[in-house]
Amino acid sequence: MASVLRFRKLCYVESAVKCTSVGYESFEIDEKLDKKEEDVLSANNFALEINKKRKQPKRQPKEWRCLDSCCWIIGYLCTTWWLLLFFYHCFPVTLLRVPELPGPGVRLKLEGLTALHPVVLVPGIVTGGLELWEGRPCADGLFRKRLWGGGSFTQIFKRPLCLLEHLSLHYETGLDPQGIRVRAVPGLVGADYFAPGYFVWAVLIENLAKIGYEGKNLHMAAYDWRLSFQNTEIRDHALTRLKSKIELMYISNGYKKVVAVPHSMGVIYFLHFLKWVETPPPMGGGGGPGWCAKHIKAVMNIGPAFLGVPKAVSNLFSAEGKDVSYIRAMAPGVFNSEILGLQTFERVMRMARTWDSIVSLLPKGGEVIWGNMDRSPEEGHVCDFSKKSHSKTSLTTNNVNNSDLKRGFLVKDLANYGRIISFGKPASILHSSKLPTSDSKVFSRTSTSENFNNFSCGEAWTEYDEMSRQSIQNVAADKAYTTTTLLDLLRFVAPKMMRRAEAHFSHGIAENLDDPKYNHYKYWSNPLETKLSDAPDMEIYCMYGVGIPTERSYVYKLSPNSRCKSIPYQIDNSVHGEDGSCLKGGVYFADGDESVPVLSAGFMCAKGWRGRTRFNPSGIATYIREYRHKPPTSLMEGRGIESGSHVDIMGNFALIEDIMRVASGATGDEIGGDQIHSDIIKMSERINLGL
């Protein structure tokens, strides 16, 4: 029995070994077959993939979306910010510190100059601070906080729509909307800095303090720059308070006359004041005919916008200028995005068109001053931006030096500056005989057609929403507009705004200044429609920068965006002239301080008021003081001490010295008389204005 079991066990083991060996051999065979099959399959798959790739169309490049543009801008700003932080922390502080040069105040104090005449500073548009006194629920926590100027711009990012609502005025009255009161920030702090580190009046104030100026003999005439000039008196009694302050300073400073220093739009605001103060009440201040002769020594106008600025045209017409147009070209989808719903330009236009002050800056004098379709005072003047020279020249008494500036502002070909708006480049170049004439029917609204957009778009944001598409296209139609037809154009596209604003401002030329109609306040801020005071001992200065390309006229196009609540026109930033041309990015440039052309800043002192004229019957002495722009040589120099730019000139040491010497008792002849670098004399001679 045991042997049988032993035999069976042996057989079982032997069979198991055989089975195992056989299984192992078959596994090796199967593995070889699988590898061959895999090789065949992989080869087939590879061939199929190649065929698919050959048949598959090439992937189209990803379409650039408005969101991409927005992300690109945010990334760019963040990168720039982090680079600045990196350089700030990595470099020694001594390399980053701007060298502090002794200002003119220190030097003039050593020369023995002291405060003599009281000084009144008059800020211009935008640069003065505004604070909230009453507002909507969205402005909770902002009582007496700055909504504008002085570092308040964080509110733009926190609650932008609320800020725009509170900065807007009533569209029909030009005064406060119901439940909102925004007022000018009083005192020197109201306009010393526009934003932290960005000075406006601060440098001048500091230098005046070096020779003894302080609160008793230095005053900032703050006012709400959004309002029409007469409305600052109606609502805030700003003109009455200015009159009282000047009279007080005159008495308390030993009966010394006041030196007024207005800037930009503040220049025509103070011109309005000079007429108001001598006009009998209730329209005027009741100071009498001799008030200015008794109280004012000199008016030293900085960056004067006497005859308006073309920038106001583009602002009211399309809520843009050269800088905004450039940003729009860099990121075309961001501001007009339907997805983001920003509608930035529409919201800005809606607010700006409630500000009567912008209408005060429209060009004055029509075609006589600014030129017609084929002629302008700047004839033969064209820019060469690539060959600017900023070498300093020595100036002597009554020095008129044009050659230095021409080296940096060369002439190459002609520009029709008289066409302040042209639709398409050909309309800005061709002779007027080849252009369609502006038919009066274009500027007539019909009730049946003009309600089309309003019916389909709901509430009107701007007056463009009340125009038919046909009317919008008729305005463009290869046409060009001068400063005369421009007013008709604005009355057509924004009739409500112009009716409200033209009750306060006029832009013509008076034929007979003795006509009683010119006693109305709407003419007082236009130097071509009012007389200067009978104050023969008073002096008037026109002080401005030159040598900077300044916006003069524009090439427009119809906006590609035709949706509701959109602006139908925009500057055509794709239009450029030849090398050395004044046409860049849809804007024609002329000489000026980057905001005000030389023509507007200097004409009244060069010709309109020079000597005894019908605009200056008492022969008040006028002086032109031009400051050729010299930019800082490096970023480390900040905004420079020889800048001629419209705002940066407030830190120009030469200008500050001129103001301080006059405030200390000097006359215009004693500080050097006229100082001219531009072609303002030649421009003035080309203007045929009866004096």
What's the pLDDT band for 152 if we cut at 50, 70, 90? low
**Among 28-42, 86-100, 205-219, 428-442, the range of highest mean pLDDT:** 205-219
What's the pLDDT band for 333 if we cut at 50, 70, 90? low
Answer for the pair 592, 601: CB distance below 8 angstroms, yes or no.
Answer: yes
CA 358, CA 313: separation in Å to the nearest integer?
9
Q: Which helix (H) or strand (E) holds 602?
A: helix 598-603
Catalytic option among 192, 224, 591, 593: 593
Map 459-511 to HEC letters.
Answer: CCCCHHHHCCHHHHHHHHCCCEECHHHHHHHHHHHCHHHHHHHCCCCCCCCCC
What's the pLDDT band for 22 if we cut at 50, 70, 90? very low
Catalytic option among 69, 152, 264, 566: 264
What's the pLDDT band for 578 if we cut at 50, 70, 90? confident
Predicted confidence (pLDDT) at residue 648 exceeds the cutoff of 70: yes
What's the pLDDT band for 537 if we cut at 50, 70, 90? very high
pLDDT reported for residue 80: 64
Q: How far is CA 122 from the centre of its chain?
A: 19
**Among 42-56, 80-94, 186-200, 390-404, the range of highest mean pLDDT:** 186-200
Answer for the pair 600, 306: CB distance below 8 angstroms, yes or no.
Answer: yes
CA 406, CA 388: separation in Å to the nearest integer?
9
CA atoms within 13 Å, Cβ hemisphere of 16 = 6
What's the pLDDT band for 31 if we cut at 50, 70, 90? very low
Residue 170 a catalytic site member: no
pLDDT reported for residue 284: 97
Pairing mode, strands 587-592 and 198-199: unpaired
Percent of the chain predicted with pLDDT > 90: 62
Weakest-pLDDT range from 20-29, 280-289, 578-587: 20-29
What value does the mean pLDDT take over residues 536-560? Answer: 95
Percent of the chain predicted with pLDDT > 70: 73
Higher-confidence residue of 219 and 90: namely: 219
DSSP three-state, residue 616 = strand
**Among 313-327, 550-564, 594-608, the range of highest mean pLDDT:** 594-608
Higher-confidence residue of 87 and 544: namely: 544
Q: Closest Cα to residue 567, out of 465, 477, 481?
A: 465
Strand-pair partners of 676? 400
Residue 525 a catalytic site member: no
pLDDT reported for residue 49: 56
CA 117, CA 297: separation in Å to the nearest integer?
8
Burial of 171 per CB tally in 10 Å (0-12, 13-18, 19+): middle
Residue 629 a catalytic site member: no
Helix axes 469-476, 483-493, angle to 10 degrees: 170
Weakest-pLDDT range from 436-450, 497-511, 538-552, 598-612: 436-450
Predicted confidence (pLDDT) at residue 93 exceeds the cutoff of 60: no
Predicted confidence (pLDDT) at residue 433 exceeds the cutoff of 80: yes
Q: How far is CA 647 from the centre of its chain?
A: 11
Mean pLDDT of the chain: 82
Weakest-pLDDT range from 75-89, 474-488, 517-531: 75-89
Strand-pair partners of 261? 121
With tokens 């274009």, the residue in question is 442
pLDDT reported for residue 636: 59
Cα end-to-end distance, the chain, whole Å = 151
Predicted confidence (pLDDT) at residue 562 exceeds the cutoff of 70: no
Map 377-436 to HEC letters.
Answer: CCCCCCCCHHHCCCCCCCCCCCEECCHHHHHHCCCCCCCCCCCCEEECHHHHHCCHHHCC
Burial of 592 per CB tally in 10 Å (0-12, 13-18, 19+): buried
CA 271, CA 566: separation in Å to the nearest integer?
37
What value does the mean pLDDT take over residues 593-613? Answer: 97
pLDDT reported for residue 26: 44
Predicted confidence (pLDDT) at residue 3 exceeds the cutoff of 60: no
pLDDT reported for residue 65: 55
CA distances from 31 to 26, 28, 35, 263 (A): 9, 5, 6, 94
What value does the mean pLDDT take over residues 417-446? Answer: 81
Phi and psi at 219, nearest 5°, equal -140, 140
What value does the mean pLDDT take over residues 504-532? Answer: 97
Higher-confidence residue of 26 and 653: namely: 653
pLDDT reported for residue 101: 67
CA 304, CA 264: separation in Å to the nearest integer?
5
Q: Closest Cα to residue 285, out of 299, 293, 273, 269?
A: 273
What's the pLDDT band for 102 if we cut at 50, 70, 90? confident
What value does the mean pLDDT take over residues 329-342? Answer: 55
Predicted confidence (pLDDT) at residue 306 exceeds the cutoff of 90: yes
157: CB partners within 8 A, 6+ apart: none
Predicted confidence (pLDDT) at residue 337 exceeds the cutoff of 60: no
Predicted confidence (pLDDT) at residue 441 exceeds the cutoff of 80: no
CA 553, CA 592: separation in Å to the nearest integer?
13
15: CB partners within 8 A, 6+ apart: none
Weakest-pLDDT range from 10-24, 547-561, 652-666: 10-24
What value does the mean pLDDT take over residues 359-374? Answer: 96
CA distances from 621 to 498, 542, 610, 668, 673 (A): 35, 11, 7, 8, 10
Weakest-pLDDT range from 37-41, 232-236, 504-508, 533-537: 37-41
Strand-pair partners of 542? 301, 624
Q: Which helix (H) or strand (E) holds 571?
A: strand 569-571
Catalytic option among 219, 507, 629, 646: 646
Summarize pLDDT for 259-294 with one digit per residue, the tens.
Answer: 999 999 999 999 999 999 999 999 999 999 999 999
